[in-house]
Chain A
């Protein structure tokens, strides 16, 4: 029970070496290839959004279970809590987008005449864009920090006052997140195609965040078990994670289809541009996206037994992590870069840099404090949980 994750120097060095090597290779690939500034900046945006989404999805995971007074997740609660430690870094990286605004967003510094863009100017202008960014991140960082701290308080005191306080923070986070996840996805992703709009877009991005986050939690459990930790996490807990992965992958498909079907039926030029650009130049990727994010988890996790085997769920989780990266790619790249977009060494190396930094921060945050919460009011329920 008194497990403490030891983030050994060896692991730290491996991760930092991968990050450094990836960074060097990214720079080299930028120098030897003529990618153009927009592709480089779009990659920064893509990876910021992707890893920030994993961190935010973790906070959502904890908050939603806390509001529902659920107990099963308590043994693995420290993992999503640790993931939220990436949010301040994501904030700084997102602010860097300031220098790439002209290369990604057509509405930034738009000169000329376009009625739609002039109407949208009240929302889409550079000062307000960054004011909103600061509001989102300060809200997310503050509320996740309060949620983490109130859990730490409960390790020493189990007074009802603190339990209610912790639940209150979770409620506040959910409300704030529900609004900001929509508006932030309009700001950062949907405005890449500034003339296009979709009302379901916020949910769609939110599901991508939650699925990647669940997949990352599963992989983290697998990794920690390989290193000999987290013996208290049994196949009953893995089963519930598998159910969530399965059902939210189906929900992702539902939203994907809801967006596609209505635009396909309506056949309005200002709406169909989004799909036309994606189907014209990136047809294989467009359908691979649907295959990885729906067909693989649907048939991979439909059986009772397959949801309970950590190794198998981890394999599906790797597919989903790759699939949702591709999903974000399809949302951002065709709009920001155009037909020159592609998945080349730049994309791979930059994602490797981000991933190793992300894992480094998560593991470092995990090594502070116990791996399984102590004295939590729900910990006994979680330890004896049967699904």
Chain B
């Protein structure tokens, strides 16, 4: 019986009284229809009490309102773990802020003589009820966690049932006592609105935030100057505050939007076994490539001759890359006389590596700045960015027993004549000795 009164009768009674009472108060005591501010009696403690209280309760009520007005949207929002935790933390913080503010406001009412003089019993009752209400809400949040989530299936539909005049108290009848008390007290507060300074809920000075400041001055030139400077200062301050608020809001949105990414950036990836294996394989291949490069270098410091290829492996159409004694790229071709042609592949213009494909005119291309070099002479085409020919590199031909059969010095002089029938089986070497190296 009591429960059905608290869950159905009280809400309707409260709304009815609130609406009718407000109308009555507006018609009979119009000038009391405000917060009845006591700022001019005491403003320091008011700032530290009223500020936190209003900020805190605004955040909390906004959360309640969204959950009740659009429960499906809210439910999908808080189904995300991060959002749910964020909402709960924000709500708890705001509630604590509101309680702090209320405590300061209550102490102020009780201790300041000037404020006490204008304090009525209703004021103290309202303060007390508000304090109890916020504490109940805080208790609910702490003892029955994740209210942001479970309220969408209980309190929200219950409120909708009330609003659509088909009250369904069963939706909340089984909720814990602390939650029911919180709900009942909310209706009591609504009931009290027309009879207390809570009516300022309906007379919010919203435009105050946006309108330009008014300064009342005497019509006197000296004061006028001072007033102008004053207005300028106020305008600068308002601009600064508004802009800072905007930037802070933007910054908060930005932080919220990028936070997830950046935290995970530092957390580092947790790869699957296959991914790590693939990555390791790739890194190993690079290390091996690097090791091969080092081996080549070492070989070039230690060895008198270095094998390039078999003569039969050379082609007149496609050069074969090798590394010369200076660790620079070089190309080996088959010349027109069947003997090898070895040429540096480092472009004489700016040092790019020349391509290995021989075109119809017997030239190879440096792709960086389009220079064509003749394979036979090494000379660049007229008008090419490169001016100097690609240097020739001397070679030595050896048989399988490492006997030198023939050699060519960089200037083109051939020593010895290989037997044409055996030529294809010989190996091409470059030599460290000066006479075998290019000029």
Partners in one complex: no
